């Protein structure tokens, strides 16, 4: 192989990001080659003999047990038989599975998979001593040897972060999970101790926001993170993320599920990458029209009450949600960008606002029962969605009778019809997000067609965003 060919091969190897910083218009990033599957297997084979003692000293067995008790107390997986089926991906020496047996007083059938033969041998002995029936398999979590919709609970501890593309494995784990089933993933946290793990094992380190984004990106609903309550080392090293597979996925075959997830993930990733890239500059940018923004806030607050449950989708860095927080009972604020949500959570902590929950999600993936919210805010977002009609219909279902939908929307079809031609080019080059072009009348028709009545409309000037308060019939 020539030097040039070796260089090309090196560039194409899978990498894991170490750090990334913007300096003006320059982005400087440092990445590291991920361990290959054979390298990972050898490393864990070498570590297997002392692995159980190491994690016991760090307090993980007790921490896993307490974590799992809390997860199962809040909502055990929806099971389809007398004995639930559980899959432990990256079973290691069996610590997580043993903790589950102690935490869950329900007999279950366990399957465990690991890339390391030595780890599997020790897991077999440990689980056997615990009286657990287990079927252990040597394999790669990115290619699970199980059928679609097989398991009631899929879990992993410190596996996904080893992979350059964790969502490849997550898609597999979701594929084999039954609709209504739970997925639990323990991941290396972005801390100083997490950096030590990264340096030794070449892993990703994630914030809770990033972990939630991983699970939501693979189609899981209600993805949320939990902290480890036991042991300082466990709290500093790890974060656990839990999600549930939506019931509707039962209708999808394996191929259809894969195609749907790939399509959704591609679209979400493009938008998320754009907004992640601009998040810090966006947070620092001044409001373009302070007077118009102030009027929209005041009009919105005229519709708010102290007992209201509110949703804001496309919340960005959270400024508007935090301003409205004192006027309502609670706000759930979602955005596709993990970086935006991270900044928003930082603002909430700094302001000591406790009634706003910031979550990484799209409105398409966000699921709640019908008639959950008193008000829904969608500000500067409808023109960035692939199907505004579907979203407006979903908002109508989520609102209680008499609830309001507050929107501020760029209607480019009134003044910039040519944007239909140049917009896709800018989006392809990553210069702007995907933008849909429609008129103010088309927007109002979409709202009334979904069952809303227009209660308030205002536009501060030609070419400015159209501000509308639409009401659901009482």
The alpha carbon torsion through 441, 443, 445, 447 (nearest 10 deg) reads: -150
Residue 85: pLDDT band by 50, 70, 90 thresholds? very high
Residue 1: pLDDT band by 50, 70, 90 thresholds? very low
- Report the alpha-carbon distance of residue 463 to residue 363 in Å, rounded: 26
- Report the alpha-carbon distance of residue 431 to residue 408 in Å, rounded: 22
Q: What is the average pLDDT across 71-78?
A: 75
Angle at 344 between CA 322 and CA 165, to 5 degrees: 150
Highest mean pLDDT pick, 9-18, 33-42, 290-299, 408-417: 290-299
Look over the chain and give the mean of its residue pLDDT values, rounded to a whole number: 84
Q: Using DSSP bridges, classify how beta strands 15-23 and 26-33 pair: parallel, antiparallel or unpaired.
A: antiparallel
| Cα radius of gyration rounded to whole Å, the chain | 24
Helix (H, G, I), strand (E, B) or coil at 323: helix
pLDDT digits (tens, 9 = 90+) for 37-50: 899 999 999 999 99
Token pair of 184, please? Answer: 């639990």
pLDDT digits (tens, 9 = 90+) for 260-279: 454 444 444 567 777 688 78
Please list, residue by residue across 108-131, b when 16 or more beta carbons sit within 10 angstroms of its beta carbon and e when fewer do: bbbbbbbbbebbbebbbebbeeee
pLDDT digits (tens, 9 = 90+) for 159-177: 999 998 888 899 999 999 9
pLDDT score, position 24: 66
Token pair of 285, please? Answer: 């940018």
> Domains of the chain, with CATH numbers?
3-33 (no CATH), 37-251 (3.40.50.150), 281-472 (3.40.50.150)
- Report the alpha-carbon distance of residue 386 to residue 115 in Å, rounded: 40
Instruction: Identify the CA nearest to 261 among candidates 270, 276, 249.
Output: 249
Q: Which long-range contacts (CB under 8 A, 24 or more apart) does 437-443 make?
A: 437/383, 437/412, 437/413, 438/383, 438/388, 438/411, 438/412, 438/413, 439/411, 439/413, 439/414, 440/411, 440/413, 440/414, 440/466, 442/411, 442/413, 443/382, 443/388, 443/407, 443/409, 443/411, 443/468
The CA-atom distances, in angstroms, between 375 and each of 24, 84, 352, 408, 441 are 39, 39, 23, 14, 23
pLDDT score, position 18: 76
Check pLDDT > 90 for residue 255: no
pLDDT digits (tens, 9 = 90+) for 98-152: 999 999 988 899 999 999 999 999 999 999 888 888 999 999 999 998 888 999 9
Q: What is the average pLDDT across 425-445?
A: 68
- Report the alpha-carbon distance of residue 403 to residue 469 in Å, rounded: 10
């Amino acid at each position: 192989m020539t030097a040039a060919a070796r260089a090309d091969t090196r560039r194409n190897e899978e990498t894991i990001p170490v750090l990334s910083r913007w300096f003006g218009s320059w982005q400087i990033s440092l990445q590291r080659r991920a361990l290959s599957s054979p390298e990972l297997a050898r490393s864990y084979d070498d570590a297997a003999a002392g692995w159980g003692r190491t994690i016991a000293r760090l307090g993980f067995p007790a921490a896993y047990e307490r974590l799992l008790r809390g997860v199962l107390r809040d909502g055990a997986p929806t099971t389809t038989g007398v004995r639930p089926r559980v899959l432990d991906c990256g079973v290691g020496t069996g610590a997580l599975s043993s903790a589950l047996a102690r935490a869950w007083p329900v007999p279950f059938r366990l399957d465990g998979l690991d890339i390391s033969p030595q780890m599997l041998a020790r897991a077999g002995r440990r689980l056997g001593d615990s009286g657990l029936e287990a079927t252990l398999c040597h394999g790669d979590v990115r290619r699970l040897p199980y059928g679609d919709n097989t398991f009631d609970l899929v879990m992993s501890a410190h596996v996904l972060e080893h992979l350059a593309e964790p969502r490849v494995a997550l898609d597999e784990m979701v594929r084999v999970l039954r609709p209504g089933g739970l997925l639990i993933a323990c991941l290396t946290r972005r801390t100083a101790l997490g950096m030590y793990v990264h340096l030794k094992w070449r892993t990703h380190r994630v914030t809770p926001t990033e972990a939630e984004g991983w699970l939501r990106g693979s189609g899981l609903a209600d993805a949320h993170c939990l902290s480890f309550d036991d042991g300082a080392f466990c709290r500093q090293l790890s974060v656990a993320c839990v999600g549930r597979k939506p019931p509707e996925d039962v209708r999808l075959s394996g191929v259809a599920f894969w195609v749907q997830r790939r399509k959704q993930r591609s679209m979400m990733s493009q938008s998320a990458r754009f907004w992640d890239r601009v998040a810090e500059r966006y947070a620092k940018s001044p409001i373009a029209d302070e007077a118009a923004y102030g009027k929209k806030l005041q009009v919105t607050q005229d519709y708010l009450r102290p007992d209201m449950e509110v949703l804001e989708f496309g919340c960005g860095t959270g400024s508007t949600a935090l301003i409205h927080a004192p006027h309502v009972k609670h706000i759930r604020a979602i955005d596709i960008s993990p970086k935006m949500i991270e900044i928003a959570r930082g603002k909430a902590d700094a302001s000591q606002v406790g009634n706003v929950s910031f979550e990484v999600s799209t409105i398409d993936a966000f699921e709640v029962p019908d008639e959950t919210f008193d008000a829904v805010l969608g500000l500067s977002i409808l023109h960035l969605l692939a199907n505004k009609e579907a979203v407006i219909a979903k908002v109508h279902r989520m609102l209680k009778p008499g609830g309001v939908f507050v929107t501020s929307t760029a209607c480019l079809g009134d003044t910039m019809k040519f944007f239909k031609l140049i917009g896709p080019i800018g989006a392809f080059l990553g210069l702007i997000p995907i933008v849909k072009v429609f008129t103010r009348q088309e927007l109002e028709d979409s709202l009334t067609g979904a069952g809303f009545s227009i209660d308030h409309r205002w536009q501060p000037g030609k070419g400015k965003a159209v501000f509308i308060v639409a009401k659901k019939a009482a």
